[in-house]
């Protein structure tokens, strides 16, 4: 049971990466958090073995470096779509900076028509291919952007750094920026540099020797080291008394630097929610 910090290359889907890892590691139980489009690259949080059951507990706030080009849009909001010219860009560095600031905080966002977001169990991209007149505003949802930094702006292109809550579509953000500027914009390159505690500088390429990450290193919850009696109770699915001052709803129960259980605190009882009897 461990995590991997994988640097997804351009041109591969996230599933392609998992399929290659599954074959290379000879492990069936493997999954990831946070899909990256084929044209995007960078950090992927990968869980192997029982760590697949822990992916939802990871801090998954994201950091991206995005390059956008102004003057046109596409139906996919990136270079895979069909181009539609809007108008010649006519704004300054400061104008762009001021527009970027309007996206900081909690806002509503409509995802790209061709995205994997689901509604009633069906992917938006599949629905869009069957019915191009689908009302994508029905898929609007709240996102949160913590910061946007304008790194460079020249030749009708800009590079920005975005820190955001998971679930934010950078393609949609770029399209919305172009709309506010009145000239259109298209995402032409996207690099995910951070996902929670997983950093691009610590990531492994698919052909590297993978560094296994102990879940306890990246799960940011209070930890309780179990004694032998408590361990037996937890392994049998029984609650134990909270003999600490911890008040967090989620607690990691450990033994010898290994995760034994994800537990919930209720009425001062620590109740195992997920129990891991084997180290996979």
Q: Which residues are catalytic?
A: 37
Cα–Cα distance, 8 to 13 (Å, whole number): 8
Handedness of CA 48, 52, 53, 54 (dihedral sign): positive
Cα–Cα distance, 74 to 79 (Å, whole number): 7
CB 45 within 8 A of CB 34: yes
Q: What's the distance, CA 194 to chain centroid? A: 9
What is the signed CA dihedral for 142, 143, 144, 148, rounded to 10 degrees?
-140
Cα–Cα distance, 49 to 107 (Å, whole number): 36
Label residues 119-149 b or e (16+ Cβ within 10 Å = b).
eeeeebbebbeeeeeeebeebeeebbbeebe
Q: Where would I find the beta strands (DSSP E) of 182-268? A: 185-195, 198-199, 223-225, 240-241, 250-255, 258-266
Tokens of 150: 């304008």
Rounded alpha-carbon distances, angstroms, from residue 156 to 80, 100, 169 = 19, 16, 22
SS3 at position 63? strand
Tokens of 267: 């009425």
């Amino acid at each position: 049971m461990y995590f991997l910090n994988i640097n997804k290359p351009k041109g591969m889907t996230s599933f392609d990466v998992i399929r290659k890892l599954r074959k290379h590691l000879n492990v069936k139980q493997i999954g990831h958090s946070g899909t990256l489009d084929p044209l995007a690259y960078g950090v992927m949080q990968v869980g192997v073995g029982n760590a697949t059951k822990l992916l939802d507990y990871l801090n998954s706030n994201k950091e991206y470096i995005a390059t956008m080009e102004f003057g046109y849009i596409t139906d996919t909001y990136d270079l895979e779509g069909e181009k539609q010219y809007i108008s010649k860009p006519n704004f300054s560095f400061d104008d762009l900076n001021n527009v970027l600031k309007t996206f900081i905080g909690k806002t509503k966002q409509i995802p790209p028509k061709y995205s994997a977001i689901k509604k009633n169990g069906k992917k938006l991209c599949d629905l869009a291919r069957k019915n191009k007149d689908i009302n994508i505003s029905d898929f609007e949802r709240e996102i949160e952007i913590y910061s946007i930094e304008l790194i460079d702006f020249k030749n009708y292109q800009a590079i920005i750094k975005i820190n955001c809550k998971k679930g934010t579509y950078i393609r949609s953000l770029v399209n919305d920026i172009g709309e506010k500027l009145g000239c259109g914009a298209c995402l032409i390159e996207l690099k995910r540099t951070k996902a929670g505690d997983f950093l691009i500088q610590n990531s492994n390429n698919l052909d590297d020797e993978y560094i296994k990450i102990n879940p306890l290193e990246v799960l940011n919850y209070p930890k309780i080291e179990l004694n032998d009696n408590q361990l037996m109770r937890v392994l049998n699915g029984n609650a134990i008394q909270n003999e600490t001052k911890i008040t967090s709803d989620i607690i990691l129960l450990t033994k010898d630097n290994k995760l034994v259980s994800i537990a919930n605190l209720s009425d001062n009882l620590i109740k195992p929610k997920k129990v891991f009897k084997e180290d996979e």
